Structure 1
Amino acid sequence: MYIGVDCGTQSTKVVVIDVDGARLLGEASRPHRLDEQVGGRREQSPAQWIEALGGALREAVSRAGIDARAIRAIGVSGQQHGLVALDAAGEPVHPAKLWCDTETAPWNADLVERLGGEAGCLERLGLVLQTGYTASKVAWLREVHPEAYGRIATLLLPHDYLNFWLTGERVAEAGDASGTGYFDTRTRCWRHDVLAEIAPELDPARVLPRLIESREPAGTLRGAAARELGVPEGILVSSGGGDNMLGAIGTGNIRPGLMTLSLGTSGTLCAYSPDPVVSDSAMVANFCASHGGWLPLVCTMNVTSATTRVRELFGLDLAAFGERVAAAPIGAGGITMLPFFNGERVPMLPEATASLDGLTGLNVTQANLCRAAMEGATLGLRYGLEQFGSLAEGVREIRLIGGGARSAAWRQMVADVTGSRVVCPAVTDAAALGAALQAAWCHRAGKGDGELAELCERLVTLDEASRAEPDANHVAAYDRVYTRYRRVLAERHAVT
């Protein structure tokens, strides 16, 4: 039996899988609180993640109905880019600053300039620094909280921190490290010179975690963590990775020809490549995959976070919100929403705010506003898809994950907006499943069997009832709506 953990923005999810029987045995989740403040600050206490992990894991094992002694390995997926800076005792010096934090936008702009602009970033890192990456968070902490900065002994990402709590080892792997902003995504190594630009007082050899291969274990479960989780000491803990990388594994996106699209708090699009990718668009990040190879990726910052704000504004539950969306026409009666509540990464508008265009006395209805929120998030993903250019030409199918993928209306909207076939995996918590599959891959590697492709073939199954095919008439209608969306984007933010 293998356990997969996904520590996201809103919750920690845990799954238990039986590899031999190719079955999901149990799953559970626990919520997190998000500290949001004016100016783009978005932070969480890492202690919440530990508490959520314990509760979700114990419940998932109980639901699985297994003896905990049958668990062979644990894999951890985590929200990317978050800064978890630890002191010498292994305690956070400041709350974790998350991927969706845009307070550090000025520091990011300064770093890009000091590295020589987009060309300099590409030369050193293989990608262009974006607000939300870890680098600008370190620079922000140095300037705004010098006392906390002065106590830094280790720089970790959220999944690295959970691995540290589980094993006592301070390690990192290439997939998640790709989004720090001080890691060369082509050669898979830390860039000490770039960290020196960000934090000249820190010794890279001391503060950066040891890099391990994706198939290499982070360590084994230490006694104190085992007792808190109610499982045996000494269980193998795999390298883990970022949620996008392990979500790709959990959708079987480990070879060319597929694309994973996540309708989560944020929206992500990624497709596997066997070689490093330098796109014509700086918004496509050349991240490493967490199983070898690369995972070029685009991320938008406002998807279910945007629809949830509108839904809660009207006091609607998910079912009622879906009914309102279905009742409105394509194009929301002429309303266009740019749902940039958290700023935006694609297009690069970290300090943007949300807006509505096209309101009249006739179209201001709950149904139209609900649909405008969902359409705005989805049209933004189409904009992101277009940034891939030729990288997306060989894609045969979009595999849809995240909370929004549970909505039949949203699945059809994605199919119609992108003009692509869409289907969901049977297990929609793909990052947690991917973490469990990576754990099995890592554990079985020492025994000479269990190739990842074979594991994905048997355990990543598709929910055929979720399949959505693009409707030609709807595709044509959305082409017109997308033209309107691009016009509004150009008028409000000079984005062409």
Structure 2
Amino acid sequence: MNSMYLGIDCGTQGTKALLVDGSGQVHGRGYAKHALIERPSGAREQEPQWWVDALISAVKAALSTAPDGSHVDAVGVSGQQHGLVVLDEHDAVIRPAKLWNDTETAPQNSEIIARMGGSEAFFQRFGIVPLTGYTVSKLLWLAECEPENFAKVRHVLLPHEYLNFWLTGKFAAEWGDASGTAFFDVRQRTWTRDVLDAIDGGSGQLFAALPPLVGPDAVVGTLRPEVASILGLHVDCIVAAGGGDNMMGAIGTGNVREGVVTLSLGTSATVYSYSERVPSDPTGNVAPFCSSSGGWLPLVCTMNATNVVTATAQLLGKTVLDIDCALDATAPGADGLVFLPFLNGERTPDLPDARGSLHGVSAMNFTADHLLRAAVEGVSFGVLSGLDLVLAGRDAETIYVIGGGARSRGWRQLLADATGATIQVPLEEEAGCLGAAIQAMVAKSASSVAPLTFVEVASRLVRIDEAATCSPRTELRSAYDNARAAYRGRLQQYYGI
């Protein structure tokens, strides 16, 4: 049997596993849900053990349709970005991990920026401006709110790094995921001690707790014997560097060369485009992250996406299957109904304390279909404003859409009509898993006489679902331009931006 590769994606809602061979043929899939800890303060947390348990279940399900695991040569792990996992001197988890969408640490985010001299100074020194949700504010929150736990910290890890540690027993960090910590210089690709000294008083505790950095084609190690036994894999199976879910999603959509745009509609929404040059946005709205394929990945993230649309549908006694019908039954702009969809606060624009609101309600638009359209438009217009920032005045000709929202024909068509771009959907829905598997292939080949490149493998394995392609209807562009202007007007009215 040909060599096989396992891509694992640990997201907010669950962990997925995808088993593929070198040609990209899928041999197995698995999925297991995660629980979530939420508090009115804005805290959103998960126990890292839940990720481990879900990984085991997902991998076993993926392998259940394969003859055995002896042909799996490499594993790659994609993980939700920005989460904080802290371990003590015995390598034990100290407390639940604070997640990317945790807004409880917003005051600490403002405080760390102030300690470093303000946003402009932070950007000049490190090439990035922290936003609420980045890892750095979680460390300051821990120091201020749980000093007894902070004193125990000996290892600081991101979610995918913790899973790599569980798999191999080795600590390692990769450039792409490290970019979202805000204690990493995205230009020099090194840790930045200054930021951490501003938290621990210069004791060196936090800097010493950071894992060593590795490149995107690196091998972290091989599976621990006990892990290999649990998963049904062989002990020589390597574990690649892995990375953040957005970075792996980029690889899994072929976004490893300039000119490609990926828009992800999951619990959060992200939009990004590969670049050979370091992005430069002193406002901090465009995250100048490193990619996990060697370049950079300028990215904008909004915290509210499919969760808002799903919640709206459920409130109306409908399901996501009703979205297409609602969009077909209503016109762009929802007859004046505007939904600012900030149910979780917001990261871009940086409004952690914002709340969702409906505007322009009238007897004509107070219907279930209009409300559903307004929810979809509110989410879409927010992320498309991010796309404008990423492209810096350029137009997108083709956008690859992934995530749960990509399954809606109506939503895809709305994006095509509003942008003037052709919307395409990769045939493999689990772009994070596929990207992790591709990275595993590249890492496995790195020491061979003919190492593979990300461009080479992605061009071979990433395929398009032609039936899902949506071309723009030019006659609707002006209507969507007007609807987006109304959305921006409400933002200006209520938040001054």
TM-score, normalised to structure 2, is 0.96
Take 1:402 and 1:314, find their aligned partners in 2: how far apart are those partners?
23
Q: CA deviation at 1:318?
A: 2.2
Number of the residue aligned with 2:487: 485
Partner Cα separation in structure 2 for residue 285 and residue 194 of structure 1: 17
1:208 has 2:210 as partner: yes
Contact between 1:269 and 1:385, CA under 8 Å: does it hold in 2? yes
Indicate the residue corresponding to 2:354 in structure 1. 352
**CA contact 2:5–2:73 (8 Å) conserved in 1:** yes
Q: Does 1:273 align with 2:275?
A: yes
Secondary structure in 1 matching 2:465: strand
Matches within 5 A, 1:39-50: 39-50=41-52
With 192-201 and 290-299 compared, the bigger mean Cα shift is at 192-201
Shift of residue 280, structure 1, vs aligned partner: 5.8
CA distance in 2, matches of 1:73, 1:133: 30
Q: Does the aligned pair in 1 maintain the 2:68–2:232 contact within 8 Å?
A: no
1:181 to 2:170 alignment = no
Following the alignment from structure 1 to structure 2, what is the Cα–Cα distance between the partners of residues 377 and 58?
35
> Displacement, 1:326?
2.9
Query: Counterparts of 1:272 and 1:379 in 2: how far apart (Å)?
Result: 22
Residue 415 of structure 1: aligned partner: 416
**Shift in Å, 1:394:** 6.6
- Quick check: 227-236 or 36-45, which moved more? 227-236
> d(CA) in 2 for partners of 1:260 and 1:387?
14
How far has the Cα of 1:205 moved from its partner? 4.6
Query: Bigger shift: 395-404 or 93-102?
Result: 395-404
1:179 aligns to what SS in structure 2?
A: helix
Find the counterpart in structure 2 of residue 14 from structure 1.
17
TM-superposed deviation, 1:75: 0.1
Q: Residue 260 of structure 1 contacts residue 270 of structure 1 at CA under 8 Å; is this kept in 2?
A: yes
- 2:462 is aligned to 460
Structure 1 partner of 2:315: 313
Contact 1:300 1:380 in 2 (8 A): yes
On the 8 A contact 1:257/1:394 being kept in 2, the answer is no
- For the residues of structure 1 that align with 2:414 and 2:322, how far apart are their CA atoms? 17
Q: In structure 1, what is the Cα distance between the partners aligned to 2:372 and 2:396?
A: 30
Distance 1:389 1:118, change over 3 A: farther
Of the three residues 283, 286, 289, the one matched with 1:287 is 289
Number of the residue aligned with 2:198: 197
Per mean C-alpha deviation after superposition, the further-off stretch among 394-403 and 130-139 is 394-403
Find the counterpart in structure 2 of residue 246 from structure 1.
248
1:160 corresponds to: 161
Matched, 1:3 2:16: no
- Alpha-carbon separation, structure 2, partners of 1:362 and 1:25: 51
Q: Alpha-carbon deviation of 1:91?
A: 1.8
Moved more, 392-401 or 459-468: 392-401
Answer yes or no: is the 8 Å Cα contact 1:15–1:28 preserved in 2: yes
> Which one-letter code corresponds to 1:4 in the other structure?
G
1:111 aligned partner, one-letter code = I
Instruction: Provide TM-score, normalisation by structure 1.
Output: 0.97
Mean CA deviation greater in 204-213 or 74-83: 204-213
Q: Runs of 4 or more off by more than 3 Å in structure 1?
A: none
Distance 1:446 1:324 in 2: 53
The aligned amino acid for 1:266 is S
The match for 1:264 is 266
- Partner of residue 406, structure 1: 407
Question: What is the distance in 1 between the residues matched to 2:316 and 2:227?
Answer: 43
Structure 1 partner of 2:88: 87
- The equivalent of 2:30 in structure 1 is 28
> Would the aligned equivalents of 1:220 and 1:236 in 2 still touch at CA under 8 Å?
yes
Query: Is 1:281–1:387's contact at 8 Å kept on the other side of the alignment?
Result: no
CA distance in 2, matches of 1:66, 1:291: 31
Report how far residue 395 of structure 1 moved: 4.1
Report the residue type matching 1:71 in the other structure.
Answer: V
Task: Quote the offset at 1:309 in angstroms.
Answer: 1.3
Partner of 1:223: 225
Counterpart-to-counterpart distance in 2, 1:353 and 1:267 = 17
2:428 matched residue in structure 1: 427
Q: Which amino acid aligns with 1:403?
A: G
Query: C-alpha separation between the residues in 2 aligned to 1:188 and 1:428?
Result: 31
Name the counterpart of 1:108: 109
Residue correspondences, number: 492
Query: In structure 2, which of residues 366, 375, 378 is the aligned counterpart of residue 376 of structure 1?
Result: 378
The alignment's C-alpha RMSD in Å is 1.4
Q: Secondary structure at the match of 1:488?
A: helix
Matched, 1:328 2:330: yes
Q: CA deviation at 1:185?
A: 0.4
Query: How big is the shift at 1:322?
Result: 3.4
Q: Residues of 2 paired with 1:467 and 1:241: CA distance?
A: 29
Which letter does structure 2 place at the counterpart of 1:291? S
Q: Is the 1:256–1:395 contact (alpha carbons within 8 Å) kept by the matching residues of 2?
A: no
* 1:133 to 2:101 alignment: no
Contact kept? 1:223, 1:234, Cα under 8 Å: no
The code of the aligned residue for 1:25 comes to H
Give, in angstroms, the shift of residue 281 of structure 1: 4.1
Structure 1: 5+ residue stretches without partners = none
User: Secondary structure of the equivalent of 1:138?
Assistant: helix
Contact 1:222 1:234 in 2 (8 A): no
CA deviations on 1:72-93 (whole Å, 9 max, x unpaired) are: 0000000000000111222221
Q: Is the 8 A contact 1:5 1:15 kept in 2?
A: yes
Percent identity, please: 45
Aligned CA distance change for structure 1 residues 400 and 389 (closer, same or farther; 3 Å): closer
For the Cα contact (< 8 Å) 2:85–2:157, is it kept in 1?
yes
Q: Which residue type is aligned with residue 160 of structure 1?
A: E
Shift of 1:488: 0.6
Residues 16-62 of structure 1 show CA distances to partners (whole Å, capped at 9, x for unaligned) of 1111x331222121111121111211111111111111111111111
Which one-letter code corresponds to 1:443 in the other structure?
K
- Bigger shift: residues 361-370 or 66-75: 361-370
